[in-house]
Each structure stands twice: as structure tokens, then as C-alpha cells.
């Protein structure tokens, strides 16, 4: 077991109707709020109106229009400018992971005099950040309980995971009812994203029994409850458990003491959404079985057998290689069964930029140190198999 430090300072307020606590929570941080949101879903579900009604006594500045795969320019830059101009005390993010990730970069940028990209690209370490409160409307990323935000810079095809303990949300409101309206496609993407967060932690050299059990239960819960959410989008129990597992899946709590895996599938997917602006969870679902096939070897076989037996209930009397291959096949079939297009070509990606993306990943993602080290050539092969 490896040494570790763990601290998640985020207060989770979970369940139906918890939004009523919003005024009391916001009052702890001040009077001037930057309200961030996306393309309008919060208005359709009545959350925008509810927030304004609850926060009548506060001064609210708005940053609307944050896109999926949030962009540095204009969203982060506009948010930082608004915070500085209005001397904002606290950011309130209402939406999915993209709105929250963008809010995290704004929170740090607002307390820094230079170009915010210096922070996101790790050229400069932030020394402070504005507090962030979020109301989550989509279960997927776990951004509500972690200290990372992923920001895209269109002109350079960069999609960077900006991680800093200063970026943990102070408070996350998690009401599963707000996720009832999430489309089937985005629900499936959320299931795949959270499953992949767990797989990125599960596939490592040195793992504890406790963590393996935690991860296996998380994967099974996401498959069972995710499927129920797709069948009946207003199934509160299923939406609630899915939201809860997604929240736990990305803050490392499921792999404390395990060895590092290097998160290789995320490294590769960030290039796909950086170059082609595709939905993150779909990209991951496509990469996952191809990465699995690529790294299956004598060394990794026992891990795949454990995964196949404990997650998919594959017959233990079969040959280990057969169990491993079936486990990969089951993974593929599950993603396909929830409606995810399983080939990059279906998302408009052909082979014209594969070499460029493989190079970008090899240079920027450090995958030579992953659980199974990946060279530029390995990354290229995985991308080609995914076409
Ligand atoms: O923009 P609006 O109108 O709000 O619509 C959004 C958006 O079009 C919509 N939506 C959100 N809540 C809804 C809803 N539609 C109906 N009803 C609701 N209740 O869903 C669409 C997608 O939203 P988005 O926020 O982009 O999805 P998600 O939460 O999956 O976030 C994806 C982003 O998070 C990053 C990804 O790379 C991607 O940029 N990630 C962040 C991580 C983190 N911070 O830890 C980890 C992840 O690995 C991931 O990389
Ligand atoms: Zn992810």
C-alpha cells in the first residue's frame, strides 16, 4: 500500500429540495455573486428562476453561455473580467461539469493579476481562489467533489486538466431531481464517464482489496442504475444513486493507497475532445475497450480476470484469457447497449489527424508513466483501432 494524503473540504448537501438552503449557504461568503451557467437548460428546468427568487437580497452578476468542453476564450476570460470589475465575493455554478470546471478556472483567475492561462498551464501556481458553490444538474464528472477543471483552448487544440486543491467547491448542492431532464445521450455519456473514472483507478499495479470492492460496487451500481435512468428518466432512486456514485468516482477516494495509474484513457480522450469538441463520455466509451485490448498481457491478465468475474459475473472455471477477453467484450457491449456510438467515425473523426493527436497526447499527457506505459506508437494504435 502506498503513502497518501487525503482531504476533501467540500460540503455536500444532497437530496430532494435541498436548494432551499441556498441563501444561508451563500450568505457565508458575501453579497456579490457571479452566477455561471450554460446554454439555457437551467431556465428550462426552472432552476434559474428558483435561484433568483431565493437570492433576492444578493447582488448577482451573470455569466451565461458556457459551452460543453468549456472554452478559455471567451468563457474563462469573461468570467475573470466580471469578477474583477464587480469585485465578486463568490461564484455560484448552476449546471453540469462544464459550467463548474469553467467556474473553477475563473475562481483562480480572478485572484491573479496575470493571464489566467499561466495558471491553467501550470506556468504559475495560484495562491488563492474565490470560493465556489455549485448546484449540479448533470451526474457525470465528479467535478462537484474534486479540485480539477478541464479547459479547452480552441486555437491550440489544448484540453488541459487544471488541478489545484484551491479549486475544491466549498459547497455542492446535489438534487437528483435536477437531473431528470438530462437527455439520453448525455445520461449515457455520464454513465460512461463515471465508469471510466473508476476503471482508471481500478487498473493499476498495486491495489487494496478494500478499493477493489469499492470500485467493483461503483461500476455495478452505475450500470444498473444508469440503465434505469435511461429507461425512466424520472426514477428518483436511480438518478440519486447514479449522482452519488458519480460524485465519489473522481476524487481518488476509491483508490487511496493504490499505486498511480496515470489515467491513460483520459489522456487520450482529451485530445479527441480538444481536436474535435466531442462529448467527453462518448470518447471515453470508445477508447476504453480498445485500450483494454491493447494492454492485455501476461502481466495485466489477473486484473482483467478479477474485473470480469467480480463486475460481470463471468464463470471462474473458464480459461483466464477467455475471461479477460469476455470482460472486454462485455464492457464494449454495455456501452453499445446504452446507445453510445462506438466508433470515432460515427462522431465525424477520420484518420486524417490521428498522427497529430497521438503526438499531442505523447508530449502532453505523460503516459510513459502509466500503469502500462504508452508510447506515441501505442497511442496511435489505440486511436486507429477506435476508428
Ligand atoms: O449548456 P446547458 O444548456 O446547461 O446544457 C448542458 C449541455 O448541453 C446539458 N445539461 C446539463 N444539465 C442538464 C442539461 N440538459 C438538460 N437537463 C439538465 N439538467 O448537458 C450538456 C452537457 O453538459 P456538460 O456540463 O458539458 O456535461 P458534463 O457534466 O458531462 O461535463 C463535461 C465536461 O467535464 C469535463 C469533460 O472533459 C467535459 O469538458 N470533465 C471534468 C472533470 C473534472 N472536473 O473532474 C473530470 C472528467 O473526466 C471530465 O474530463
Ligand atoms: Zn472523465
| CA angle, 209 then 224 then 174, to 5° | 85
For the CA of 189, the nearest ligand = 1
Instruction: Tell me the CATH class for 11-179.
Output: alpha beta
Instruction: Give the per-residue pLDDT at 48.
Output: 98
Q: Residue ranges of the domains in the chain? A: 11-179, 184-386
Instruction: Give the per-residue pLDDT at 255.
Output: 98
From atom 39 of ligand 1, which residue's Cα is the shortest distance away? 69
297 phi-psi bin (left φ>0, alpha ψ -120 to 50, beta other): beta
Ligand 1 pocket at CB < 6 A: 38-41, 45, 68-69, 95-99, 101, 137-138, 140-143, 146, 148-150, 178-179, 181-182, 186, 189-190, 193, 250, 266, 280
Low-confidence ranges of the chain (pLDDT < 50): none
Pocket test for ligand 1, best of 37, 40, 48, 68 (most atoms within 8 A of CB): 68
Instruction: Give the per-residue pLDDT at 216.
Output: 98
Distance (Å) from CA 318 to ligand 1 centroid:
40
Q: What is the pLDDT of residues 263-299, one digit of tens each?
A: 999 999 999 999 999 999 999 999 999 999 999 999 9
pTM: 0.98
Q: What CA–CA distance (Å, rounded) separates 125 from 169? A: 18
Give the CA count within 13 Å in the CB-facing half-sphere of 330: 19
The single residue listed with the C-alpha cell 481500478 is 202
Distance (Å) from CA 45 to ligand 2 centroid:
25
Query: In CATH, what number does 184-386 get?
Result: 1.20.1090.10
Amino acid at each position: 500500500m502506498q503513502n497518501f494524503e487525503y482531504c476533501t473540504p467540500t460540503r455536500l448537501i444532497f437530496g430532494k429540495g435541498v436548494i432551499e438552503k441556498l441563501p444561508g449557504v451563500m450568505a457565508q461568503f458575501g453579497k456579490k455573486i457571479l452566477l455561471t451557467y450554460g446554454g439555457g437548460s437551467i431556465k428550462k428546468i426552472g432552476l434559474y428562476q428558483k435561484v433568483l427568487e431565493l437570492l433576492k437580497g444578493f447582488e448577482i452578476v451573470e455569466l451565461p453561455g458556457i459551452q460543453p468542453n468549456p472554452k478559455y476564450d471567451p468563457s474563462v476570460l469573461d468570467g475573470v473580467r466580471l469578477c474583477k470589475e464587480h469585485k465578486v465575493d463568490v461564484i455560484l455554478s448552476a449546471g453540469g461539469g462544464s459550467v463548474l470546471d469553467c467556474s473553477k478556472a475563473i475562481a483562480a483567475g480572478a485572484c491573479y493579476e496575470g493571464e489566467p492561462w499561466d495558471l491553467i498551464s501550470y506556468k504559475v501556481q495560484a495562491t488563492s481562489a474565490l470560493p465556489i458553490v455549485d448546484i449540479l444538474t448533470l451526474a457525470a464528472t465528479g467535478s462537484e467533489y474534486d479540485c480539477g477543471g478541464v479547459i479547452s483552448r480552441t486555437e491550440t487544440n489544448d484540453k488541459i486538466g487544471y488541478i489545484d486543491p484551491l479549486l475544491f467547491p466549498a459547497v455542492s448542492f446535489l438534487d437528483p431531481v435536477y437531473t431528470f431532464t438530462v437527455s439520453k445521450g448525455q445520461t449515457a455519456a455520464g454513465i460512461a464517464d463515471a465508469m471510466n473514472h473508476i476503471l482508471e483507478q481500478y487498473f493499476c499495479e498495486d491495489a487494496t482489496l478494500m478499493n477493489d470492492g469499492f470500485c467493483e460496487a461503483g461500476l455495478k451500481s452505475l450500470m444498473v442504475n444508469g440503465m434505469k435512468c435511461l429507461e425512466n428518466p424520472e426514477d428518483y432512486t436511480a438518478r440519486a444513486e447514479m449522482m452519488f456514485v458519480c460524485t465519489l468516482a473522481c476524487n481518488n477516494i476509491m483508490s487511496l493507497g493504490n499505486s498511480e495509474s496515470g489515467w491513460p484513457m483520459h489522456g487520450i480522450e482529451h485530445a479527441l475532445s480538444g481536436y474535435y469538441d466531442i462529448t467527453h463520455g462518448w470518447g471515453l466509451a470508445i477508447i476504453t475497450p480498445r485500450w483494454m485490448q491493447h494492454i492485455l498481457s501476461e502481466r495485466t491478465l489477473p486484473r482483467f480476470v478479477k474485473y470480469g468475474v467480480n463486475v460481470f459475473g463471468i464463470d471462474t472455471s473458464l480459461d483466464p484469457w477467455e475471461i479477460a477477453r469476455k470482460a472486454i467484450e462485455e464492457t464494449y457491449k454495455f456501452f453499445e447497449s446504452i446507445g453510445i456510438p462506438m466508433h470515432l467515425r460515427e462522431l465525424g473523426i477520420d484518420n486524417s489527424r490521428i498522427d497529430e493527436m497521438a503526438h499531442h497526447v505523447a508530449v502532453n499527457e505523460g503516459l510513459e508513466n502509466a500503469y502500462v506505459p504508452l508510447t506515441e506508437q501505442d497511442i496511435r494504435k489505440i486511436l486507429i483501432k477506435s476508428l
